[in-house]
Amino acid sequence: MLTPSKEKELVNKISELRKLYDTKKKQIESNTELNDLLTEAQEIREEASGYHTTLSEYAQKAQEYHDKMITTFKEADKIRAESDTAHKEFVQIQEKADEQHKAFIAAQKEIRDIDKELRKLKKKDGGRKGADMEEVRKDAEDIFDKFKSGEKLTTENLMTLQKSGLL
């Protein structure tokens, strides 16, 4: 709590400061150059505030696009990994197919060689043809039935089939 003299002193001080404030305010208002500079400064602050708002909006949009980009990169990495796995499987299957194709070519060559041998034998053995052919035909039908049921055939079996005319 203030004493009356201290209160009066404080009121006087406030009055003096108010007068000083009013005087300075009038000086500032009468100084057009200073007034113009203050007005210009306020306009610049408002313009800067507008730029700051725009900058904040662009920063937010940039962050959204960045987040989308990260998501897309992760998805691309996942797809790339799946693609790599599929490609490895494809290469393995292709190698197996190449092996099977080589085996097929070798078997085909073997059949041609056997066919040549058969032609040579036919030329040499033209007279025994009738009785032997009936026996060969029966054997060939049995072999052909085995073939249809999925059993593996030997080279000799293939020669018999060829000799009988079933191939």
pLDDT tens for each residue of 55-99: 999 999 999 999 999 999 999 999 999 999 999 999 999 999 999
Name the residue ranges covered by the structural domains of the chain: 7-95
Residue type, 55: L
Place of tokens 């007279």: 127
- Dump pLDDT digits (tens) for 21-66: 999 888 877 888 887 888 899 999 999 999 999 999 999 999 999 9
Residue type, 135: E
Helices (H), the chain: 4-30, 32-124, 129-148, 155-164
Six-digit token string for 25: 């305010």
Note if the pTM is more than 0.75: no
Average pLDDT over the chain, rounded to an integer: 88
